[in-house]
Chain A
């Protein structure tokens, strides 16, 4: 039998299709598994709303009008081995194709500040690390070890800004970390939180402005509680939640 070019093409297409399907099926299974085990994120009552842009982004409208979806930031992030930046899908049609930080819990921004340097359009502007305002990290006081009788410090150790951002309210109920408004929103704390599904949620600055008063009030209320009331809060509700999440820590932090 002669092996013509057409046969070769057919064979190669078949092989390619097999490889793709072969790779794709386990991938789909993975996705299904992940969906089954997925925790509800921290602070479930707060809807993220809005997109967390790469560092140095212009204000939202300006950014949208400049970004041409060329993919330089996405690929530079990949080249720098962080893979934090993804591209918005069809869910948000107005922002389709623009970059955002999709998954803070697995791929946070490392603040290498390479993407703003290389953005050809100027939608991302060069800024100093300290002046980045990507978002704001919020601690779920109901889930955080430090707020429930433990000393953890993981978030503050992971933070590239360190003492500038973290305030500690040490007491008998733990070391009680609080992230102040100097936070740049890189999400490293969210990644390195040892709690399953993380006790830290990163929201956009705009969203933070909306929920700021309720968040700060909750923080102040907890600090002012008497010991008995606090005991009820910690042992009555929080510890059970934390224990439930602890069982699946391994999957979350592979």
Chain B
């Protein structure tokens, strides 16, 4: 591997990980990556890394991630068939007509707008806080539907461009500081307080609008009472967010989205974290290249783990690593104090 420049490695990795497999050329590249990264010659020529399993025979993390999202969307879709499993949307919902759930940022907006603390709303938000105390910011990578839509936009974009690599360079180029998201979240909270309206969640939230769009679409199709302008508005918001993704890849997730920023606060204390094993790192930088969120991984590789505030635990670095998950792992560390002491923040 010594003869290969790091640049070509990046290109190959981008192609293999981001599932750009439309053209013949990228398929060839993928094969090369696989052939190089696996030590023995077990892989036949026909085995393209589109399979759901990785080299160890385990199901790929990205595949599991998409299955989780699919399951959640299906659970939410059952409500349109009048099945009482999960009603509402990702900003607020009720499971089996019993457990009330509410998004954390929405809770704070509603709290500040009304200036009225009620035990009712607190009961709804506590289960969500509990879940993300365990999983950190995994909401963004595993549950948020925009993550999937953005991936589709990325694919379309890569196809329409001449060079796939250009898109990758754009993706990781971060000229907006992620910290601006906290300022935006703060401004939105103040706005909510001034207007006495949960401003972001009610009007512009991607989660609200995504589910509002689906609900009003279904209602329109079933001839139930609905305002068509709701669908129009929500569709416009979602479409403009997709446009934003096309021109500024992942700017929304990385820097702007206040919902993600709220969940990122959990990252510091969550049980889930990136764990780095002892092993031979070839310093190919692949993990950082494939990261949507600009997490700086390589400086921390000599430490036992990393809790980065921007990490959404999508597992791209785990898959992207040329050791295929031998060095970087995602681990739920339950009260492992020894490991925690060494973790950088």
Contact = CB atoms under 8 A, between A and B. Distances in A.
A64 B196 contact: yes
Nearest to A90: B229
B87 A90 contact: no
Interface in B61-118: 79-80, 82-84, 87-89, 91-94, 97, 100-103, 106, 109-110, 113-116, 118
Most central of A5, A67, A69, A86 by chain B CB within 10 Å? A69
A36 to B, nearest CB: 17
B258 to A, nearest CB: 13
A149 interface: no
Interface string A75-92: 110110101101111110
A79 B84 contact: yes
A120 B225 CA distance: 23
Contacts of A66: 110, 113-114, 116, 121, 198
Contacts, number: 171
A30 interface: yes
Contacts of A90: 227, 229-230, 232-233
B227 A102 contact: yes
A91 to B, nearest CB: 7
Nearest to B79: A75
A121 interface: yes
A23 interface: yes
A69 to B, nearest CB: 5
A223 interface: no
A106 B219 CA distance: 14
B216 A78 contact: no
Interface residues of A, number: 45
Given A6-B22, A27-B220, A91-B229, A79 B87 contact: yes
> Interface SS of chain A: helix, strand, loop or mixed?
loop
B161 interface: no
Interface string A26-66: 01001000000000000000000000000000000110111
B99 to A, nearest CB: 10
Contacts of A87: 212, 215-216, 226-227, 230
Given A65-B114, A120-B121, A71 B211 contact: yes
A36 B93 CA distance: 39
A96 B225 contact: no
> How big is the B interface, by class?
35 or more
A76 B94 contact: yes
Interface in A137-179: none
A118 B198 contact: no
Nearest to B220: A27
B203 interface: yes
A97 B202 contact: yes
A122 B117 CA distance: 10
Interface in B205-219: 208, 211-212, 215-216, 219
A62 B227 CA distance: 23
B197 A120 contact: no
B223 A27 contact: yes
B228 interface: yes
A68 B91 contact: yes
A229 interface: no
A121 B102 contact: yes
Nearest to B85: A79
Given A66-B113, A97-B208, A118 B225 contact: no
A72 interface: yes
B156 to A, nearest CB: 10
B47 to A, nearest CB: 18
Nearest to B91: A70
B233 to A, nearest CB: 6
A37 to B, nearest CB: 16
B312 interface: no
A68 B223 contact: no
Contact of A102 (B109, B124, B212, B225): B225
A66 B197 CA distance: 7
B225 A86 contact: yes
Interface of B: 22, 79-80, 82-84, 87-89, 91-94, 97, 100-103, 106, 109-110, 113-116, 118, 120-121, 124-125, 196-198, 201-203, 208, 211-212, 215-216, 219-221, 223-230, 232-233
5 contacts: A6-B22, A65-B114, A70-B208, A71-B211, A72-B87
10 interchain residue pairs of minimum CB distance: A70-B92, A89-B227, A89-B229, A120-B124, A72-B88, A122-B120, A65-B114, A102-B225, A90-B229, A75-B87
Given A76-B94, A107-B224, A125-B120, 15 more contacts: A65-B116, A65-B196, A68-B92, A68-B109, A68-B110, A69-B198, A71-B212, A72-B87, A74-B215, A75-B88, A81-B82, A83-B224, A91-B227, A97-B230, A121-B124
